[in-house]
Amino acid sequence: MKLASLTRTIVFAGLSLSAFASEPSVSLSLSSGTAPVGGSVNLDLSLTSPGTQPAGLQWTFDIPTADFTASSVVIGPSAASAAKTLVCSGGSGTVTCLLTGINSNTMPNGVVATLTLTLSAGANPIRGIQVLNPDSVSLAGDSLTTSATGGVVTVPVAVPVGLSSLICGPSTITGSGSATCTATLNASAPTGGAIVALSDNSTFVTTPASVTVAAGAATATFTATAVTVTADVSAVVTATLNGSSATSSITLVAPIVPSTLTCAPASLASGAAATCTVTLKKIAPLAVLVTLSDNSAALRPLVLSPLALHRHLRPQQVQSLPTARLL
């Protein structure tokens, strides 16, 4: 029942109510709050009156039942200081409250009541709570012009933990070897940790299927193992978590080895000599040493010590070895 409708029929809270008197406006405003799904939030209903302070208040909370599973209302410090009593009742989705007392006290500006709501599992990210049918009465029994504004409950959207970076070092491996890779998250891993999926695009690199970042940590390391390649190749290691990904490249460098060794002429008479030529499989970035040997006592090479090949020797280029002479 609207507070003003009691005019001329009853004595409300020990005060005779007279109708249709003009008083300065009274406003009720509900605060906003944030709570996770399944959590609770407290919203304060505050009284503001620039003129006459009310001796009694009435209002109705409109609460969406799909978003909230429970609600309760307690008296606020402003109303309690005036020794008022709060009585609330209602059905599905609405709670009507009457705030009054059998005394001659008025309520000062401040929090007159607090609404506590429990969010449902399917609560919308943003949901408004309306304050309907506001009414107030002065100490003299006059009905005061009253307005009300509702509040908003916001459910924070959980941002899943993702990957910030993936760094593998060393970034270059010559021959067989391994690199230590570090996956870094954009936030600490939640309870239970975060499982980061791993993959690579090369048959020459092996990575584990996944690595786990421990709860509360932001990094985890793993090993990428490389085998020897016959030609330089680049491998890409990829880490994936919750739709985010990060990559790191590892360059696999083939070792510098001879490709062919030819000697001409292929047949030698006693005392004759042959010139031998070595060819590398790849460009030599620096001077390299080639060790020479033979399996015949009849062959007398002039140089059997390591031979320095020219820097940047290309596969198409050759370098002649010192002459080998048949005894």
Judge residue 224's burial from the number of C-beta atoms within 10 Å of its C-beta, 0-12 exposed, 13-18 middle, 19 or more buried: buried
Q: Would you place residue 313 in the very low, low, confident or very high pLDDT band (cuts 50, 70, 90)?
A: very low
Q: What is the CATH number of domain 163-253?
A: 2.60.40.2310
Distance CA 13, CA 169 (A): 80
Mean pLDDT of the 25-44 span: 95
What percent of the chain has a predicted confidence (pLDDT) above 70?
A: 83
**Chain segment 236-254, per-residue pLDDT in tens:** 999 999 999 999 999 999 8
Q: What is the pLDDT of residue 92?
A: 72
Cβ-Cβ contacts under 8 Å for 156 (sequence gap 6 or more): 34, 36
Q: Give the fold, CATH level 3, of 3-154.
A: Immunoglobulin-like (2.60.40)
Q: What is the pLDDT of residue 301?
A: 55
Q: Would you place residue 299 in the very low, low, confident or very high pLDDT band (cuts 50, 70, 90)?
A: low
Query: Of 221, 158, 165, 164, which Cα lies nearest the Cα of 190?
Result: 158
Assess whether pLDDT exceeds 70 at residue 200: yes
Query: Of 85, 79, 77, which Cα lies nearest the Cα of 102?
Result: 85
Query: Of 211, 205, 200, which Cα lies nearest the Cα of 236?
Result: 200
pTM score: 0.54
Q: Would you place residue 13 in the very low, low, confident or very high pLDDT band (cuts 50, 70, 90)?
A: very low
| Residue showing tokens 């009414």 | 135
Distance CA 115, CA 152 (A): 12
Mean pLDDT of the 102-130 span: 93
